[in-house]
């Protein structure tokens, strides 16, 4: 096994790598070679071990269990499709804290087994969303398009079956893991397609992050007239940039809403002062995490 002491972890503002860099393991949604694994490697380093999960619920469940993992990585929003609302609910019900984030450009590639040429391809397999993202490229050919459960799993299958007439659409990491050739790269139509991934850790392990400049918070007011406006005014007066505000219905209420807010600031002291000013204006407030703004990769 690679000596973890030699790993160079990117300076994305995260706390120490999982388990001090000694065999860190994080849960991800999807299979090995998925974009979740790409995000995990960008944040923690190439040698971070991933635990593939079928659902986001499983990601949270395993990330919350110290016997199974050192944390988790979960997609939360996409620049085209928007917020993944169920994942906010999963986060709210968990004991996990956000310790960092990555904005990853989703680059789709056409993968084949070694020696296979474009004229050999008869079918293309991938997740339905990946196929949709690549229609402009795929429309140039008369290939049969087959929807699958996962991009990386499609790559794994054509490798395992030594397919001579089937290609997969997946990440370059999947090509590396399954010994496939990238026969056409960046075949997605919309090039400005980013997914934001949250890095999650259990509350007892989420140490204070040096030079943190972003926080994720949830709150709700008494829903009287102007109550939300008063909170937002205090945030603005405190010099904090509200980069995201997402509303959620409160279960069991008559169309009352809680709000998820992403706040950007210059120092944690500034953030803490603003939190003190909005506390009396809210009925409930919870901080999901104070961390460094993620880089766009």
Tens of pLDDT, residues 95-139: 999 999 999 999 999 999 999 999 999 999 999 999 999 999 999
Q: What pLDDT score was predicted for residue 7? A: 26
Domain ranges of the chain: 23-106+193-205, 109-184, 214-291
pTM: 0.88
Beta strands at 49-53 and 25-29: parallel, antiparallel or unpaired: parallel
CATH class of the 214-291 domain in this structure? alpha beta
For residue 219 the two structure tokens come to 């709150």
Whether domain 109-184 has CATH 3.40.190.10: yes
**CA 8, CA 22: separation in Å to the nearest integer?**
13
Long-range contacts of 243-248 (CB under 8 A, 24+ apart): 243/214, 246/83, 246/85, 246/88, 248/85, 248/88, 248/89
pLDDT for the residue 19: 42
Task: At 37, give phi and psi (nearest 5°).
Answer: -70, -35
Nearest CA to 264 among 214, 223, 193, 216?
214
Domain 23-106+193-205, CATH homologous superfamily name and number: Periplasmic binding protein-like II (3.40.190.10)
| pLDDT for res 118 | 96
Q: Residue 11: its pLDDT value, please?
A: 37
Say what the pLDDT of residue 117 is. Answer: 96
Q: Which residue has the tokens 């999982």?
A: 18
Would you give per-residue pLDDT tens digits along the chain (297 residues)?
Answer: 233 222 233 333 344 444 444 448 999 999 999 999 999 999 999 999 999 999 999 999 999 999 999 999 999 999 988 899 999 999 999 999 999 999 999 999 999 999 999 999 999 999 999 999 999 999 999 999 999 999 999 999 999 999 999 999 999 999 999 999 999 999 999 988 999 999 999 988 878 899 999 999 999 999 889 999 999 999 999 999 999 999 988 888 888 899 999 999 999 999 999 999 999 999 999 999 999 999 787
Q: Matching CATH topology for 23-106+193-205 and 109-184? A: yes
- Which class for 6: exposed (0-12), middle (13-18), buried (19 or more C-beta within 10 A)? exposed
Residue closest to 230 by CA, chosen among 286, 273, 277, 288: 277
């Amino acid at each position: 096994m690679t000596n973890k002491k030699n790993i160079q972890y990117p300076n994305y503002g995260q706390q120490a790598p999982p388990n001090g860099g000694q065999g860190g393991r994080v849960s991800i949604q999807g299979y090995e070679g998925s974009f979740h694994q790409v995000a995990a490697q960008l944040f923690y380093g190439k040698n971070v071990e991933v635990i593939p999960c079928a659902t986001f619920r499983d990601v949270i469940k395993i990330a919350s269990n110290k016997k199974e993992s050192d944390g988790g990585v979960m997609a939360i929003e996409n620049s085209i499709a928007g917020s993944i609302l169920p994942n906010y609910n999963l986060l709210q019900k968990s004991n996990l804290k956000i310790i960092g984030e990555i904005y990853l450009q989703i680059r789709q590639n056409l993968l084949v087994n070694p020696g296979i040429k474009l004229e050999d391809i008869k079918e293309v397999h991938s997740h339905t969303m990946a196929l949709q993202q690549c229609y402009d490229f795929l429309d140039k050919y008369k290939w049969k398009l087959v929807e699958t459960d996962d991009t990386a799993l499609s790559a794994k299958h054509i490798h395992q079956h030594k397919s001579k007439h089937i290609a997969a659409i997946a990440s370059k990491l999947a090509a590396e893991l399954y010994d496939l050739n990238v026969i056409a790269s960046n075949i997605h139509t919309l090039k400005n397609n980013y997914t934001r991934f949250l890095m999650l850790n259990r509350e007892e392990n989420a140490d204070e992050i040096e030079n943190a400049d972003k926080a994720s918070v949830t709150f709700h007011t008494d829903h009287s007239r102007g109550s939300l406006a008063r909170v937002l005014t205090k945030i603005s007066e405190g010099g904090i940039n509200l980069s995201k505000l997402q509303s959620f219905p409160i279960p069991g209420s008559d169309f009352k809403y809680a709000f998820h807010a992403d706040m950007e600031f210059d120092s944690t002291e500034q953030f803490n002062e603003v939190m003190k000013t909005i506390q009396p204006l809210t009925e409930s407030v919870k901080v999901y995490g104070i961390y460094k703004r993620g880089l766009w990769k």
